[in-house]
Amino acid sequence: MRILFILPDVDSFHKLHIHFGIAYISGILKANGYNNIKFLSVSSVNDYQAVVNEVMSFKPDIVGFTSVETQFGNVITLSKLIKEKHECLIVCGGAFPTLYPECIEDAKYLDGIFRGESETAFLRFVRAVENGEDYRNIDNFCFYDEKENRVIKNNLMPIENDLDHLGFPDRGIFNFQEIIDSSGAAPFMFNRGCPYNCSFCSNHALASVYGRRSNITRRRSVESCIDEIKETDKRFKFDVIHVWDDLFISDRKWLYEFLGRYKSEIRKLFMCTTRSNLCDDELFKKLKEGGCYRVHMSLESGNDFIRNKIMRRNISKETIIKSFNLANKYGIQISASSIIGIPFETEDMIKETISLLGSLKIDSPGVNIFYPYIGTRLREICVEYGMLESAIKYDVRERRESVLNLPHISKERLQYYYNNFEELVRAKEGFSPYIKCKMKKAYKRFLPNKLQHIVRNLRQQKINTNAFPVYSED
C-alpha cells in the first residue's frame, strides 16, 4: 500500500511543514508494516502542479488530506486535480471535517472524511482497502450516500486516553532537520486538549463531538516524553525545544516531574505555553530551573468586557499584569498574542489592548484578526447578529483579514491596526528595554510621518475603559 499525506497550508498564517496528527497516524501505520508513506506540504497554489507530479510518480493507493476550515477549498481543488490524473481513494481528516462532516457535500472528489482522532480508525481503513473489504463501515468514517442523498456518519471510536499507546509521532516523513534549522527549535507535542472553553476556540466544539463539556487535557507519561526527546536527539541536531501543547503547565504534579527529568537528562532550552491565571512565583521558578527560556502567554484583549464576557477568558487584568511581571522576574522571555476584530469590539477597545501590551515588558507582541471557526460559540453569535458574510468561506486569508461586518469598526480601520500592531505596541512606554531601544531607531527611520503622528496621538490619548457593552453573557 502506498499512502500520500497532504497538508494544505496555502498562503497561511501558520506556515506549517509538520503536522502531529499526520505524524502519529504515520507512526502507527509504520508500526503495523505500512512503510511506503510520503508527505507533502502545500504552501502556494503554485505547488498544485508539484502535487500532481508527485501523485503521478508515487502512484498512491490512498491520498489523505488534513484541513482546517479556511484550507478546505484547496482540498476540493487538489482532490479534483488528483482524481483527473490518477485513480485512488482520497479522504480528509482534521478539525474542519470533524466539526462539519457535511463538508463532504462540497467535495465530490473526496471518497470520505474522518471525524475525531483517527489513528486507529485510519489503520483499520487502510487494512480494509488492502483486503478489498467495505471501508465505508469503519468507525469515524463519513461519506456521502448518493442513493439516500445524505451524509452517512459512522460511530465515533472512544477517545484515546492512553496516549502512550499511540507510540511516537513519525518525524521521518518530514524534512525535520530543515524545520529545526528554519525555526531555531525542534517542535514536540506531548499532551492533548485544553480544559478551558474560550468562546473563540474550537476546543469546546471538539469536546462536544465526543459528548464532553470540555476538552480535558490528556497526558502522556513523563517517561514516554523524555524517551521521545532522547530518540529525536539521536537523529537530529537541535539545541532548543518548542513544546506545542495547548496548555503545557496545567498539571503541576506532571509538570514538575517532567521538569526534574528534563533538567537532569535533557539539559536543553525550551519554550512552552502558559496561562496567566495558572501562573505564580513557584511555577516560573521551576520553569526557569528546568530550562525554560521563553513562554507564550496569550493576552487576547486588553478590554475586560471583550476578554471575559465575549471571549470567556475569565482572567482579570491584575492577574495578567502579575503573571507577566513574574516571568520578567525570572528572566523568562514572553511572547503575547492578541485577537482584534472580535464581535462588539470598538476601536477604543483595540487601543486598550495596545496600551496594556505596551505597559508590559514583553519580547514579542503578536496579533490575529478574529476568524469565527465553525462550531464555536462566537461563530453562533456572529450568525445570530448578522455579522457573518456567508455561512462557509473557504478562500479567506485566515487571521489576517476579517470576514465579519462589524457594527463598531470598519474593515479598513481594523486592517490598519493589524498591519501596524507591533509598531503601535512598541511605541508605548514599558516595553522590553532592548526591544524598545531597537524599535525606537526603526520607528524614526522607517515609519511614515503620518503613522508617527498617529502613534504620538495614541500615546497621549486617554483610553475609554467604559465602552458600552452591546452584548452580555445573559
Q: Over the stretch 298-349, which tens digit does the pLDDT of each residue have?
A: 999 999 999 999 999 999 999 999 999 999 999 999 999 999 999 999 999 9
Q: At 87, phi and psi to the nearest 5?
A: -85, 115
Amino acid 214: pLDDT: 86
CATH architecture of the domain covering 3-153: 3-Layer(aba) Sandwich (3.40)
3-state secondary structure of 6: strand
pLDDT of residue 390: 65
- Give the model's confidence band at 427: pLDDT under 50 very low, under 70 low, under 90 confident, else very high: confident
d(CA 264, CA 56): 49
**Reduced 3-state DSSP string for 427-458:** CCCCCCHHHHHHHHHHHHHHCCHHHHHHHHHH
Residues 6+ apart with CB under 8 A from 408: 344, 345, 346, 347, 470
Q: How many secondary structure helices (H) and strands (E) does the chain include?
A: 18, 15
Q: Which parts of 86-199 fold into alpha helices (H)?
A: 95-99, 119-130, 176-183
- pLDDT of 192-221, one tens digit each? 999 999 999 999 899 999 999 888 899 999
Res. 376: pLDDT tops 90: yes
Q: What are phi and psi of 19, to 5 degrees?
A: -140, 120
pLDDT one-digit tens code per residue, 13-42 = 767 688 999 999 999 999 999 999 999 999
Question: In whole angstroms, what separates CA 439 from the centre of its chain?
Answer: 28
Q: Give the bridge partners for 274, in sequence order.
A: 297
CB atoms under 10 Å from CB of 246, counted, come to 18
Question: What percent of the chain is predicted at pLDDT more than 70?
Answer: 88
Reported as a single tens digit per residue, the pLDDT across 77-126 is 999 999 999 999 999 999 999 999 999 999 999 999 999 999 999 999 99
Task: Select the highest-mean-pLDDT range: 379-383, 426-430, 467-471.
Answer: 379-383
- Can you name the residues that pair with 192 across neighbouring β-strands? 218
Contacts of residue 19, defined as CB under 8 A and 6 or more positions apart, other chains included, come to 5, 7, 66
Mean pLDDT of 429-435: 44
Class of domain 163-460: alpha beta
| CA atoms of 184 and 237, how far apart (whole Å) | 11
pLDDT at 391: 59
Topology agreement, domain 3-153 and domain 163-460: no
Residues 138, 124 contacting (CB under 8 angstroms): yes
Predicted pLDDT at 469: 36
Could you give the count of Cα atoms lying within 13 Å of 32 in the half-sphere of its Cβ?
17
Q: Which residues pair with 3 in a beta bridge?
A: 37, 62
Entry pTM: 0.87
Among 144, 143, 115, 136, CA closest to 211: 115
If pLDDT is split at 50, 70 and 90, which confidence band does 396 have? confident
DSSP label at residue 270 = E
> Does residue 460 register a pLDDT over 70?
no
User: For residue 182, which phi and psi values (nearest 5 degrees)?
Assistant: -80, -30
CB distance 375 to 100 below 8 Å: yes
Most distant CA pair in the chain, distance? 72
In the block, which residue shows the cell 475586560? 304
Enumerate the domain spans of the chain.
Answer: 3-153, 163-460
Which of 81, 230, 219 has its CA nearest to residue 163? 219
pLDDT mean across residues, the chain: 89
Burial environment of residue 301 by CB neighbours within 10 A (0 to 12, 13 to 18, 19 or more): buried
Q: What is the pLDDT of residues 244-294, one digit of tens each?
A: 999 999 999 999 999 999 999 999 999 999 999 999 999 999 999 999 999
Q: Is 320 exposed, middle or buried (0-12, 13-18, 19+ CB in 10 A)?
A: buried
In this predicted model, which residue has the larger pLDDT, 447 or 238?
238
pLDDT at residue number 458:
39
CA–CA dist 111, 84 (Å, integer)? 14
Residue 12 has pLDDT above 90, yes or no: no
Question: What does the pLDDT read at residue 398?
Answer: 78
What percent of the chain has pLDDT above 90? 82
Distance CA 186, CA 206 (A): 27
68-185-194-390 Cα dihedral, nearest 10 degrees: -20
Please determine, for residue 419, whether its predicted confidence score (pLDDT) is greater than 70. Answer: yes
CB 262 within 8 A of CB 312: no
Whether the predicted pLDDT of 424 surpasses 90:
yes
For 116-129, give one letter per residue: b (16+ CB within 10 A) or e.
bbbbbbbbbbbbbb
